[in-house]
Amino acid sequence: MTQQYLVGELSLILGELQAVATNEAAVRDIARLRQEAETTPPAALSHVMKRAVELTNRVCSDTLERGDVATFAREVTICAELRELGVCAGLLEEDQTSDETGLS
């Protein structure tokens, strides 16, 4: 994968999350992280990816706590896409994502 491809995919996935998130504070956080992903030097994407996983996990947890099952299902799918991108790109380790997201 090229660095520019990774930037684009990360931005796209964060955009998907931003579109389905219902918490306004989370939407703002996602927008800021998305902009950071688009403007950060590609070599520094690992840090942005880790923050994206943490943010996505938080968004999913908040949605589940509110009992919004339909939105939670969409967010978990997006979280899985993000995790897969991070692992395949070598920006996240398989064990690392399981520990941070609760996903395996």
pLDDT in tens, the chain (104 residues): 688 899 999 999 999 999 999 999 999 999 999 999 999 998 889 999 999 999 999 999 999 999 999 999 999 999 999 999 999 999 998 875 444 445 44
The answer to whether residues 45 and 10 touch, using CB atoms and an 8 Å cutoff, is yes
- pLDDT, residue 104, reads 41
Q: What ranges do the domains of the chain cover? A: 3-97
Q: What is the pLDDT of residue 45?
A: 92
| Predicted local confidence at residue 2, as pLDDT | 85
C-alpha distances in Å from residue 92, one per residue of 74, 82, 88: 22, 10, 8
Its pTM stands at 0.85
CA 77 – CA 71 distance, rounded (Å): 10
User: What is the pLDDT at residue 96?
Assistant: 54
